[in-house]
A and B are shown apart, each in its own frame.
Chain A
Amino acid sequence: MINEKNKLCAFAAFSLILATAPLYLNSYWVDVLNSVGLYAILALSLNIILGDAGLYNMGHAAFFAVGAYTAAYLNTQFGLPILWALPVSGIVAGLAGLLVARPVVHLRGDYLLIVTVGVGEILRIALINDVFGLTGGPNGIFGIDRPVLFGFKIRKPQEFFYLIWGFVAVTIFLFYRLKNSRFGRALDYLREDMTAAEGSGIDTGRYQLYAFMVGAAWAGMAGTLYASKMSIISPESFSFWESVVIFIIVILGGSGNIAGVLLGTFLIIGLPELFRGFANARMWFFGLAMMIMMIFRTEGILPHRPRVFKSLDRQRP
């Protein structure tokens, strides 16, 4: 129990420091935190697919792109306010996830990984080629509105900070609950042993699709926030490298562990900004860190742990 209390204190302190960050950080650093926040949403959404369900998806940027382009298109063509576009692009990206996953989700491990890499590339090339005249080609879509919340227009990095991290907080809240529910456990079972899960009465095929759908939908919503923050989006923001970065965050931080994924995001996205002076050595350090991890701690910095059930603790003397 003491351990649980410590965890809660650490979480509260972290939230407090983060929430007050715009008060003592300049706009540049707030902007860095904003991009950490966006990657945190992406990594948490990939964590459902990769960390919880154990499905190797290295094309996650595709769903991010679907969400961003859906929001950008609806906003610039039909004037739909960005925050209204948020659920719409979530649904569209979720359906895209379903569509992509349906024929390939039964593939195992690295085979699935290769397919998702392919899907990501196909989408990126389709965006560049302006399919159906929807995506604006290599230039992308520009002039995307800023979000308006209760009549207040969000413009400055400090304002975006609260929008993005507010969304991160909601995501953590919902995903934490999801993890400790029947749904979250089902994903654990199918990651650990597909045959045993099926034999225990779990419809593994359906849950794999659900995992893809939820992960893709959340990445799509992250895309909407990204589009309104940048006000211009183009295919190069959704390259293969983005998928790789999100993948590395989940693996390095601790797949299946929400705190681990957040830590991973700060390390992979935040730390390099601290060492801007050593830009040349960054990739070198990155690669070395990955190698050390894969040899000594394959499960990530903060690995998945079995759940603690409160009712059990109460029974103990």
Chain B
Amino acid sequence: MSLLSIRNLTKRFGGLTAVNKVSFDVGEGAIVGLIGPNGAGKTTVFNLITGNYQADEGDILFSGTSIKGLRTNKIVSLGVARTFQTIRLFQKLSVLENVLAGRHCRMKAGLVAGMLKTPFEKKEEREALAFCQEELAFVGLKGQESMVAGSLSYGNQRLLEIARALATGPRLLILDEPAGGMNEQETEALVGLIGRIKERGLTILLIEHDMSLVMRACEHLVVLEYGCKIAEGTPEIVKNDPKVIEAYLGAD
């Protein structure tokens, strides 16, 4: 059974249909790429999945149950984590505090436990700190825990967003242009990181403009144009699809 199932998803902004009856599946443990020209509606699809926008029609099934209409934080706690196209870190907070934000939904201590520092709260904090440091080491930001997030390089900010998303303990990780603003070496490292995330048993859905990354990292591609799905399949099939070539290069 597929982990994520998009069914006839439609979203309109006034007269513009940004996403038009899009359906696709993301299998458990797969790396799926969502590609298409600028303005094709890729990020809108992501925003619909994560509850930032509400769909007008269609349904979104995660692990067999509908998550359509749920609030973002609820969807995160069910196991869907994302990164943003325009980096949305807590710029003035430290790197570690940023990752701890992701861990929040897996922790329980509330107001009173926080004030009284109960043994449970202390243990939970210790474990969360250790866990978040491990995630930082995993994405390659070890030793930068105390730095202010805004002072990191662009590429490292992208990695920090991935660490924060991983800290939520997701089953599905949604990456919106993870290589945006990265240089070649950083992109190379990112491909490795995506592979290691897959090895952990996570499913990945990503938007990316860097075609070499998409072709290397993804096993399955979904192509959007003007809000509609125009092609789907392995990178080889999609690359040679006349409709896709037309969408990217324009018809004669």
Contact with A along B126-151 (1 / 0, CB 8 A): 10111001000000000001101000
**Is A276 in contact with chain B by the CB < 8 A criterion?**
no
Q: B114's contact among A183, A189, A202, by CB below 8 Å, is which?
A: A183
**Is B222 in contact with chain A by the CB < 8 A criterion?**
no
Interchain CB contact under 8 A, A188 and B125: no
**Is A174 in contact with chain B by the CB < 8 A criterion?**
yes
Q: B96's contact among A178, A198, A199, A312, by CB below 8 Å, is which?
A: A312
Measured between C-beta atoms, what is the minimum distance from A238 to chain B in Å?
Answer: 26
Interchain CB contact under 8 A, A177 and B129: no
Cα A122 to Cα B121 with chains together (Å): 40
Given contact pairs A185-B101, A192-B92, A199 touches B82 in the complex (Cβ within 8 A): yes
Cα A201 to Cα B104 with chains together (Å): 7
Write out the residue numbers on chain A whose beta carbons fall within 8 Å of the beta carbon of B128.
182
**Of A27-35, A70-78, A95-103, A302-310, the one with at least 4 CB within 8 A of chain B:** A302-310
Write out the residue numbers on chain A whose beta carbons fall within 8 Å of the beta carbon of B97.
185, 188, 306-307
Beta-carbon nearest neighbor of A184 in chain B: B114
Interchain CB contact under 8 A, B145 and A312: yes
Interchain CB contact under 8 A, B84 and A196: yes
Cα A210 to Cα B111 with chains together (Å): 8
Main SS at interface, chain A: helix
Contact with B along A127-158 (1 / 0, CB 8 A): 00000000000000000000000000000000
Interchain CB contact under 8 A, A202 and B115: no
Cα A187 to Cα B104 with chains together (Å): 11
Cα A186 to Cα B125 with chains together (Å): 14
Residue among A184, A198, A199, A304 with the highest chain B CB neighbour number at 10 A: A199
Cα A308 to Cα B93 with chains together (Å): 11
Find residues 68-113 in chain B having any chain A CB closer than 8 Å to their own CB. 71-73, 76-77, 81-82, 84, 88-94, 96-97, 100-102, 104-105, 107, 109-111, 113
Interchain CB contact under 8 A, A200 and B117: no
Interchain CB contact under 8 A, B72 and A199: yes
Beta-carbon nearest neighbor of B108 in chain A: A182
Interchain CB contact under 8 A, A181 and B109: yes
Interchain CB contact under 8 A, A200 and B125: no
**Is B43 in contact with chain A by the CB < 8 A criterion?**
no
Interchain CB contact under 8 A, B115 and A192: no
Write out the residue numbers on chain B whose beta carbons fall within 8 Å of the beta carbon of A181.
109, 113-115, 117, 121, 125
Interchain CB contact under 8 A, B93 and A202: no
**Is B50 in contact with chain A by the CB < 8 A criterion?**
yes
Measured between C-beta atoms, what is the minimum distance from B101 to chain A in Å?
Answer: 4
Q: B105's contact among A175, A202, A214, by CB below 8 Å, is which?
A: A202
Main SS at interface, chain B: helix
Given contact pairs A182-B109, A210-B111, A311-B126, A202 touches B104 in the complex (Cβ within 8 A): yes
Given contact pairs A174-B115, A177-B114, A306-B94, A200 touches B146 in the complex (Cβ within 8 A): no
Interchain CB contact under 8 A, A306 and B93: yes
Write out the residue numbers on chain A whose beta carbons fall within 8 Å of the beta carbon of B91.
192-193
Interchain CB contact under 8 A, B146 and A204: no
Beta-carbon nearest neighbor of A189 in chain B: B101
Q: A182's contact among B50, B71, B125, B133, by CB below 8 Å, is which?
A: B125
**Is A159 in contact with chain B by the CB < 8 A criterion?**
no
Measured between C-beta atoms, what is the minimum distance from B50 to chain A in Å?
Answer: 7
Measured between C-beta atoms, what is the minimum distance from B17 to chain A in Å?
Answer: 24
**Is B168 in contact with chain A by the CB < 8 A criterion?**
yes
**Is B63 in contact with chain A by the CB < 8 A criterion?**
no
Measured between C-beta atoms, what is the minimum distance from B110 to chain A in Å?
Answer: 6
**Is B52 in contact with chain A by the CB < 8 A criterion?**
yes
Write out the residue numbers on chain B whose beta carbons fall within 8 Å of the beta carbon of A177.
114-117
Contact with B along A19-46 (1 / 0, CB 8 A): 0000000000000000000000000000
Beta-carbon nearest neighbor of B77 in chain A: A201
Residue among B72, B125, B165 with the highest chain A CB neighbour number at 10 A: B72
Beta-carbon nearest neighbor of B101 in chain A: A200
Cα A235 to Cα B100 with chains together (Å): 44
Q: B102's contact among A184, A192, A200, A210, by CB below 8 Å, is which?
A: A200
Write out the residue numbers on chain A whose beta carbons fall within 8 Å of the beta carbon of B89.
193, 196
Given contact pairs A178-B114, A306-B146, A188 touches B73 in the complex (Cβ within 8 A): no
Cα A66 to Cα B133 with chains together (Å): 45
**Is A273 in contact with chain B by the CB < 8 A criterion?**
no
**Is A197 in contact with chain B by the CB < 8 A criterion?**
yes
Write out the residue numbers on chain A whose beta carbons fall within 8 Å of the beta carbon of B171.
none
Residue among B89, B104, B126 with the highest chain A CB neighbour number at 10 A: B104
**Is A203 in contact with chain B by the CB < 8 A criterion?**
yes
Closest 8 CB pairs of A and B: A181-B114, A201-B105, A201-B76, A306-B94, A196-B88, A192-B90, A200-B101, A183-B114
7 extra A-B contacts, CB within 8 A, seeds A177-B116, A182-B110, A192-B91: A174-B115, A181-B114, A182-B128, A200-B168, A204-B73, A311-B126, A312-B133
